Amino acid sequence: MHLPPVPTLGHVQRLYDFIRRHPTGVDSFWAVFLLGLSGLSMVVRAGSAGERLAALLIIVGLCTVVALRRRAPEKMLLLAVAMGVAQLVFGVKPGVANFAMLVIVFTVSTLGERWASRLALVCSLSAAGVSQLRWPQDVPQNGWPQQVFVGVVMTVPFVLAWVLGDSMRTRRAYFSQLEERAARLEREREAQSKVAVAAERARIARELHDVVAHNVSVMVVQADGAAYVMDAAPDQARQALETISSTGRQALAEMRRLLGVLRTGDSQESGEYVPQPDVEQIEDLIEQVRQTGLAVDFKIEGTPRPLPSGVELTAYRIVQEALTNTRKHGGPDAGASVRLVYFDDGLGLLVEDDGRGAAHELYEDGGADGAGHGMIGMRERVGMVGGTLDAGPRPGGGFRISALLPLKPAH
């Protein structure tokens, strides 16, 4: 014997999705159902042919209200009011089809314009009283208190439908505001990240200019030396070397002027040229950090050798920023360790601490530390020299920054 399949959550979810995608179709189904019930009630209802025709037209109109309530709520409310007036005029007593009025009151208070919602409320409060005045024989004759009670009982469902719909409208508006605010904050965050990246790239470009300027100064010294030692060379070679020296001096002076503009914002100001830090100065940096109270363990593995200037500057800045973050976020009792590993084809950096760690925004892509955007700077620096960076919490607590910078022989 085969048992029928048991509905699962997947079936329920698919049914729910179908209903959400076809709201008018679902409403039309209920409208046809309501039309069938109303037709059955008409069979047993007595009346003249004119009254039965009027009742049929009113029933069709009210069923149309149910079918199109979500597509055109304001128009369907006006149609329901018109059907109610027609009932009063032609003396068609309320029946099953009048359930459509309850439905449209809820729909308009949820989805309709404000004027339509207010009109639905007014109709809800007055419908029961008007019905009792039009068909007084349907009201018990035991005095006005009981008449008032019956009117209140008939009014309560309509008022509850309006209140429920209005509360759903308010809730939807609230969630819509939350979504809009979240989207706006996300756009602002993306804009701030782009600004931070642009600022950091400009800062990196300035430092790379410093490195290039240093290399140009070396070129000038070498060109000068070659001009003095090349006694056996022709005069044209000497003139070419002198031209190289002159051009190099001019380029160095121009780069210093540009660096002064970038650093101070005023082309009239000039400052003393300071070479950029390198790997050898990392030990001095760590000693300065130790003097601030942070215990740092520093080790070098492998054979130290000359590195490209960009790699040296990148390694120094990564260690500097990592230790700065440890002081900021690690807590008062945090300790750190720095490992510098010379591989055959790369320089490895490992900076770890045992502090409290850092927030997720510090090490996610595009994240910012709320002040200097240090993690953005690290990723930009490592990317510009073709390296890789990994930053995040340590399994045992604290924070870890690991970088691998590719090496090329320095000439």
pLDDT digits (tens, 9 = 90+) for 42-100: 776 666 777 888 888 999 999 999 999 999 999 999 999 999 999 888 888 888 888 99
Task: Determine the residue type at 239.
Answer: Q
Compute mean pLDDT per 10 residues along the chain, 411 residues long, and list them: 59 73 86 88 72 88 92 92 90 87 92 90 87 68 68 87 91 90 90 79 64 58 64 65 67 61 48 66 86 85 86 88 82 87 91 74 46 67 87 85 78 42
Burial (Cβ within 10 Å: 0-12, 13-18, ≥19) of residue 56: middle
Q: What is the pTM of this model?
A: 0.48
Residue among 69, 64, 106 nearest 83 (CA) = 64
- Cα→Cα distances 393→190, 234, 302, 390, Å: 24, 64, 27, 10
pLDDT, position 347: 92
Question: Which are the contacts of 13, defined by CB distance < 8 A and separation ≥ 6?
Answer: none
pLDDT, position 204: 64
pLDDT, position 259: 58
Residue among 67, 104, 102, 62 nearest 82 (CA) = 62
Domain spanning 279-406: which superfamily?
Histidine kinase-like ATPase, C-terminal domain (3.30.565.10)
Given the structure tokens 């729910």, which residue do they identify?
16
SS3 355: coil
Q: Which helix (H) or strand (E) holds 290?
A: helix 282-291
pLDDT 10s digits, 309-332? 888 888 988 898 888 888 777 777
Report the distance separating Cα 66 and Cα 24, nearest Å: 9
Name the token pair of 341.
């590993």
Residue among 116, 32, 109, 18 nearest 66 (CA) = 32
pLDDT, position 317: 85
Q: What is the DSSP letter of 292?
A: T
Spatial contact of 104 and 80, defined as CB atoms under 8 Å apart: yes
Residue among 347, 301, 325, 344 nearest 400 (CA) = 325
157: number of Cβ within 10 Å: 14
Report the distance separating Cα 279 and Cα 259, nearest Å: 23
Report the distance separating Cα 254 and Cα 371, nearest Å: 33
SS3 content of the chain, % helix, strand, coil (to 5): 65, 10, 25
Spatial contact of 323 and 289, defined as CB atoms under 8 Å apart: yes
Task: Determine the residue type at 183.
Answer: A
Total number of residues shown for the chain: 411
pLDDT, position 271: 46
Report the distance separating Cα 366 and Cα 280, nearest Å: 30
Domain range summary for the chain, segments of one domain joined by +: 9-138, 187-264, 279-406
DSSP states along 264-284: HS-TT------PPP-GGGHHH
Question: Which are the contacts of 104, defined by CB distance < 8 A and separation ≥ 6?
Answer: 65, 66, 69, 73, 76, 77, 80, 120
